[in-house]
Amino acid sequence: MPTPLFELRNLTKIYGGGLLGRQASAALDNFSLTFYEEEPKITTIAGESGSGKSTLANLALDFIHPTEGQIVYKGKDLGKMSRTERFNFRREVQAIFQDPFGTYNPFYKVDAVFDTVIGKFKLAHSKQEALKLTWAALEVVGLRPNEILGKYPHQLSGGQRQRIMVARAFLLKPRLIVADEPVSMVDASLQVRILDIFRDLKENYGISFLYITHDLSTAYQISDDIYVLYSGSVMENGNVDDVIQDPHHPYTQLLVSSIPVPDPDIRWEGRTTSSASELTVKAANNGCKFYQRCPHAMDRCTVSPPPAYPVGPSQFAACYLYADTQAAVVAIDRSPVGHVAS
């Protein structure tokens, strides 16, 4: 039985409500996911603006707290950790963000990024040892240290700056990296390079990734499994090949149909017409959140939210279209690798 490393248990995050009278809305609704010690993986959280994916990233990084649910790292609830346990969590769960430039101080050479982290986490006993660690981390991400160290952030390309952020995270020997839209600001060729580095870190260093993106094509390129979020709820999840090649939920089908294809004979239908405001539109009652945009909507879809139905060996869709084929799964942890949390 594999050992849970990082567990997101039935997380709900609600904003608004309370005494100020603002309408309460769930940015994330009953989300569960587990990473295991022995099985490093890259899990994608996919969705468009307003889907709740960044809320999930912030919860996983302990930047915000869940309204309901639990986040557990190495068997310990994040809210009940000792000082030492929290220090270790901060070291072992790292973040990479969309805009690397915002992370740098323009007045300091990029060396400071490494010096700061080495000092804070006491990773080296001497300057020489610190330099050796920095040098090795830069080489792991395919950068030549002598071309990088001593430079100011503005003297480097966007791709180099983002790779430095990966090297900084690597320096800490993390078990999990939360990467929130990490390649959306670099050009396509560098996207491939950076995603290849993620895969290398998973395969050769046992580092798992929570990869947050709106881009299904990059998700398909590197993920092991995927969760498709819509308005805070999981619409479909499973092995990434199954979900992208054979999507079952009408929302996933819509997203997949909008992926650009390289074949000039096949017309790209364009991106979905979704907007942030559309994405927050809910059914007029407590039913399926996708009701108002769904081409298959039925009366029963307005009654209660659909549970997750198994639609393949490692694939689930929260849609009543699959209700009559198989028994519903109570979604505590719909892990595609079949580990159902008790």
Query: Given the rule CB under 6 A, which residues bind ligand SF4?
Result: 250, 288, 290-291, 294, 296-298, 301, 306, 319-321
Shortest distance (Å) from residue 272 CB to ligand SF4: 14
Residue 217 Cβ, how far from ligand SF4 at the closest point, in Å?
Answer: 23
Nearer to ligand SF4, 140 or 283 (CB): 283
In whole angstroms, the minimum distance from the beta carbon of 243 to ligand SF4 comes to 15
Least separation in angstroms between CB 283 and ligand SF4:
8
Give 45's strand partners. Answer: 212, 227
Closest approach of ligand SF4 to the CB of residue 282, in Å: 11
Least Cβ distance, residue 309 to ligand SF4 (angstroms): 10
Of 171 and 301, which CB lies nearer to ligand SF4 in the complex structure? Answer: 301
Q: Which is nearer to ligand SF4, 71 or 301 (CB)?
A: 301
Among residues 186 and 228, whose Cβ is nearest to ligand SF4?
Answer: 228
Pairing of strands 4-17, 22-36: antiparallel
* 135/291 with CB nearer ligand SF4: 291
Of the candidates 8, 27, 7, which has an alpha carbon nearest to the alpha carbon of residue 17? Answer: 27
Q: Which is nearer to ligand SF4, 118 or 255 (CB)?
A: 255
Q: In the complex, what is the shortest distance from the CB of residue 316 to ligand SF4, in angstroms, rounded to a whole number?
A: 13
Q: Which is nearer to ligand SF4, 176 or 319 (CB)?
A: 319
C-alpha 83/C-alpha 169 separation (Å) is 21
Kindly tell me which of 233 and 335 has the beta carbon lying closer to ligand SF4. Answer: 233
**Nearest distance in Å: CB 213, ligand SF4:** 22
Q: How far is the CB of 276 from ligand SF4 (least distance, A)?
A: 20
Taking the least distance from each CB to ligand SF4, the nearer of 81 and 297 is 297
The full 3-state SS of the chain, as one line of letters, equals: CCCEEEEEEEEEEEEEECCCCEEEEEEEEEEEEEEECCECCEEEEECCCCCCHHHHHHHHCCCCCCCEEEEEECCEEHHHCCHHHHHHHHHHEEEECCCHHHHCCCCCCCHHHHHHHHHHCCCCCCHHHHHHHHHHHHHHCCCCHHHHCCCCHHHCCHHHHHHHHHHHHHHCCCCEEEEECCCCCCCHHHHHHHHHHHHHHHHHHCCEEEEEECCHHHHHHHCCEEEEEECCEEEEEEEHHHHHHCCCCHHHHHHHHCCCCCCCCCCCCCCCCCCHHHHCCCCCCCCCCCHHHCCCCCHHHHCCCCCEEEEECCEEECCHHHCCCCCCECCCCCCCCCCCCC
